[in-house]
Structure 1
């Protein structure tokens, strides 16, 4: 167990920490900021539909490789230097992305951006547990939790607004000035430890290579699998085999090396292991809902990015208002109670959207978003405290890296499952609805006649056009029913996960 810090850090260090939090915000924001602007970027760099998805995949793969390395970086270079290296690399890569003229350049630079920026996330988390006393940790983790949840939520909205009013290049240029300020702030103000150059000699290069191969191929399979029909695609199958083999070798190396690249023995601490498992589940909703709601409004309601942003803004407001209260209550109430309530509220909020129609809009999502937003922030804040608060100061760096990796992996697994379930359920509901579309039913005959009359004199074959319109309506209904199934199952995941809370020990 760690000996907690008893006194507040100086104002100099606190301001440096705020700068680090802004860096963390930028790194998480950039995961999703391009999500609603892919068409504009595709046109700008003359990319194909298959190629453009790689500007997100490359970022995620690189980021998830770097996150667990942050602890090693901080030991070798010191916390301040490791963060500054990450911030400078992220800022320069952002500038390069804005100047890219081809898809290949953009993919490479996005990978560099994700890799360099990835370290800012767990380093900031680790710093919070290093410099602040235990009795202030509720407020501190409320800020961290707010950043971790709001950044991906507003990413697509902010990206759409920027692209619509300026150009897609500004999706990356907006990082430059804040990146410079963050770099200066952390370098000048956050000098909290010293470098250990001897740690370079203890660096497990083999373990590092195996971890990069394992996490990189895993992220690739989860990102590309749903679109490429999983293992029927030879490339996905090949990467899956590489992932499985490198996974086994990585875990073997981690438990046998004298100085492993990642200290997996931290999972012997029950609260850490359970907390990391819970944040994996939280990641499914955190990233899954950010993906699912714009997808619904884009495909079913045909909203533009600003209209989608107006709807999703409700979640951000709910989190923003709730975070300080949760931070305060986490100092007064058993953290396990907050996590349990958060899981239930997230689940209930998802189930509330399991009765959508083709006309569902802002108000049908308003209350469910409030409930989900409150629930997710109630999970995130105490989950970090209960998982990382049980570690010693020397272990927090590795622990925060694994905590962030599991949150991102939860999101990746969630997105892959959501896409797969959506495709399956859409086909299932199509097959269930089609038998009812026959000319023995009066309503079908009436609708066909109405459409046929509309197309008479407009197209050469009015009957075929009328049938096509009926098929389109059936496909739309199947799509909506598939979304209902996803919201229902997503909610049940959190309700079923509730008993996990009982595995946690009461924090001391």
Structure 2
């Protein structure tokens, strides 16, 4: 009999103070009674409420990556920071979060899900209050780093819990909820941030976390009972690997975030941190492969589904975070929209994700998940292909279909990738693997944004060079256009009319160069996402008995 067919009456016996589905301490999580397969966990209202608290905490942590993106100008004014400095409001959060995510697997085993999530939710809430009270940029950077590091512990926790406390038959539906949370949070972040800043002030970008954060903290402490701590692990904490991982991932995140702005290896700091990242990576991987109790267990990559799924989710991170960034950039720099107008335009993707999630949850149970993954990446490619013809006049109507297709495709990719990657791993590997899996998505987003910014800058320069050849003095079309613009300014600006016309023409060339660069970029992204279909056959279809065993 497969695990998925195990009758409820076959649950292992347990003491009076333990959850019925949890084996006794010291027993194997993969056996029950006299050689019987483990029974599926029992879903109780208590556990369901506790899990929803975990998901909500994860939503807050991911939301706060992007919630400030549409309000950086207001935060900059409030903190009296320069345009180059204000980017650290996001960079400090991302660097700290990317260090905590892989570490969370070790801490969840040592402290238990209950303790780790409670500390994370409480700390995230306190750090959010501190961010709202910041009056200088250094204060904000420190508080945002604290918020990102502590909040990073909440993200993998919900992923691991989804596979340890729910029976296999419910996992596709549960992963639809988790996938919706992961993709919806960064998508609606700019919209939520724009509304809060417009209606109140930028301080509410952080204060909005207080009541939900406090509620998630109390619910987790009172109701989470999924596992038991292993405090002995803390004595085996590999501090050298921890320091190496912090240098490796922190330096890498900085290089990816700031590289395009600082002209990559032309900058001394980028060169130094690139070397530091490589040295940190060598030391970190050496420790992980040689110590008895590694800080991050990389053996999960021996599972082919997890390895291929991690690669797919890496590229999915490019699409998730990259396009969430691109739409506001186009609308702000080309269309001149403010944060509220941007939010009202880009909500389409989130709306279609919300509608698609339950449908994909049902399809994941009834069809081969590989078909959904392939169709999702093809849809992603088509959504980008439609944008290759973008012009400076595109607004809500023209962007509606690409955004809708992107929302549907995100859910078709996210849910089945999560299922095929994590559902086949043994329960004792899930906490660690969940951290690695989420790290790959975040790194995919970081690499994607670095590539996007660099590509846009280079292609814009190239197109501007070509366009300037068409507007030089002596070309009839350019001279006629300049004369017409000068005449239109003459009544208002007098002798300065010709100078104003030249400035406007130059600005038009720059804007048109940027629009053409957007078209080139969407061609590249369309090819990237469509080509991932060739990786789908490498994924093994999860067997009928695959999936996590009961929580332990």
User: TM-score range with shorter-chain normalisation?
Assistant: over 0.9
Q: Could you say which residue in structure 2 is the equivalent of 1:281?
A: 315
Encode CA deviations 1:57-82: one digit per residue, 9 max, x unaligned: 00000000000111111111111011
Indicate yes or no: 2:374 matched with 1:340: yes
- Selected match of 1:321 from 345, 349, 355: 355
Q: Could you say which residue in structure 2 is the equivalent of 1:357?
A: 391
- Selected match of 2:233 from 194, 199, 203: 199
Q: Could you say which residue in structure 1 is the equivalent of 2:530?
A: 495
Aligned Cα root-mean-square deviation (Å):
1.3
Q: Secondary structure at the match of 2:43?
A: coil
Q: Secondary structure at the match of 1:51?
A: coil
TM superposition score normalised by structure 1: 0.98
- Selected match of 1:162 from 196, 199, 204: 196
Indicate yes or no: 2:479 matched with 1:471: no
Q: Secondary structure at the match of 1:368?
A: helix
Going from structure 1 to structure 2, the CA distance change for 1:133 and 1:5 (only over 3 Å counts) comes to farther
Q: Could you say which residue in structure 2 is the equivalent of 1:266?
A: 300
Q: Could you say which residue in structure 2 is the equivalent of 1:507?
A: 542
Pairs within 5 Å for 1:227-266? 227-266=261-300
Query: Whole-Å Cα distance in 2 between the matches of residues 501 and 332 of structure 1?
Result: 18
Query: Whole-Å Cα distance in 1 between the matches of residues 154 and 417 of structure 2?
Result: 20
- Selected match of 1:63 from 91, 94, 97: 97
Query: Whole-Å Cα distance in 1 between the matches of residues 474 and 140 of structure 2?
Result: 56
Unaligned runs of 5+ in 2: 4-28, 31-37, 544-552
Unaligned runs of 5+ in 1: none
- Selected match of 1:485 from 489, 497, 520: 520
Pairs within 5 Å for 1:55-204? 55-204=89-238
Q: Secondary structure at the match of 2:387?
A: coil
| Pairs aligned (count) | 508
Query: Whole-Å Cα distance in 2 between the matches of residues 157 and 268 of structure 1?
Result: 40
Q: Could you say which residue in structure 1 is the equivalent of 2:476?
A: 442
Query: Whole-Å Cα distance in 1 between the matches of residues 367 and 406 of structure 2?
Result: 21
Pairs within 5 Å for 1:294-443? 294-443=328-477
Encode CA deviations 1:75-107: one digit per residue, 9 max, x unaligned: 111110110010011000001111111111111
Query: Whole-Å Cα distance in 2 between the matches of residues 186 and 489 of structure 1?
Result: 44
Who wins on radius of gyration, i.e. which is larger? 2
Encode CA deviations 1:98-146: one digit per residue, 9 max, x unaligned: 1111111111000000000001000111011110011111100000000
- Selected match of 2:52 from 3, 18, 21: 18
TM superposition score normalised by structure 2: 0.90
Deviation at 1:289, TM superposition (A): 0.6
Query: Whole-Å Cα distance in 2 between the matches of residues 438 and 169 of structure 1?
Result: 48
Query: Whole-Å Cα distance in 2 between the matches of residues 103 and 440 of structure 1?
Result: 50
Q: Could you say which residue in structure 1 is the equivalent of 2:21?
A: none
Going from structure 1 to structure 2, the CA distance change for 1:100 and 1:439 (only over 3 Å counts) comes to closer
Indicate yes or no: 2:263 matched with 1:223: no
Deviation at 1:311, TM superposition (A): 1.5
Deviation at 1:459, TM superposition (A): 5.0
Q: Secondary structure at the match of 1:49?
A: coil
Encode CA deviations 1:484-504: one digit per residue, 9 max, x unaligned: 111111111101111011111
Encode CA deviations 1:264-321: one digit per residue, 9 max, x unaligned: 1111110000000100000001000110000000000001112111211110011000
